Amino acid sequence: MKLHVYLRNLGVASRRKSEELIGAGQVMVDRKPAHVGQQVQGTESITISGQQISASAPQKKQYLLINKPVDYTSTTASFFENEHSVLELLPYQLRKSTQWQIVGRLDKNSEGLLFLTDDGELCYVLTHPKYEIEKEYVVTVARGLEAGDIKKLLQGVLSPEGETYRFDKIEKISPLNYSCVLTEGKKREIREAISLIGSRVTRLVRVRIGELFLGELVSGTYRVPTVEEQTWLNSLSKRVPNTITEKI
């Protein structure tokens, strides 16, 4: 593990601040000056400005899947009267015990799967378009889509403001219901795209983020990942060291 990641996991400082401390020569590993990008095992003697750093195990990361109901916001706090954050669906102690980040935000009128975590690097992998993590939605429309409509959505439709909206996959479930898959989520993309082809979204439910599934999770409730889902999350975490380098 890279030293700056190790220090961040111990809660010593943020990733960037840890790099600054290392670059300034304030970090010693086994009594030798550390360097940016240095690998450590976690058994070394590490000091910062002469102060010994505890080598206690890093705190376990937290992961939750939650089924957001309509009228809740995908924010970590409520900013207006009569507005409710999706975090209010968690018990108070759980809500306050972790610095939650929300992956896969949904607008207030949409519902379905959100992923909550305190793992910032994993959050980056899940949300950055270059990793092409699929998000699947079941979309109900006011007017059924013709073959030409579907072709346009797959090729990309252009808004008057110059924004292009493109779906990766569309599958008809019933005359008014469609499975839509996107890998790059722009604000209100599905609603805007459907509007541009002359129909209207009447219900939008996210049912999947990558290998995380909404399944039978009741609206307004949450759960921890299954064994299979946790295995997938662990596989994404292995990409984190490269991600750190790419973001700098």
Domain residue spans of the chain: 3-58, 63-129+220-237, 134-209
Range of 59-68, 81-90, 125-134, 140-149 with top mean pLDDT: 140-149
Q: What is the pLDDT of residue 76?
A: 80
Annotated catalytic residue, options 107, 118, 119, 168: 107
Share of the chain above pLDDT 70, in %: 90
The DSSP bridge pattern shows strands 201-209 and 111-117 to be: parallel
Class of domain 134-209: alpha beta
User: What is the enclosing helix (H) or strand (E) of 213?
Assistant: strand 212-213
Give the confidence band of 50 by pLDDT, cuts at 50, 70, 90: confident
Is it the case that residue 17 has pLDDT exceeding 90?
no
Is 71 among the catalytic positions? no
3-58: CATH topology is: 3.10.290
Whose CA is closest to 97, among 64, 55, 133? Answer: 64
63-129+220-237: CATH topology is: Alpha-Beta Plaits (3.30.70)
Q: What is the pLDDT of residue 215?
A: 95
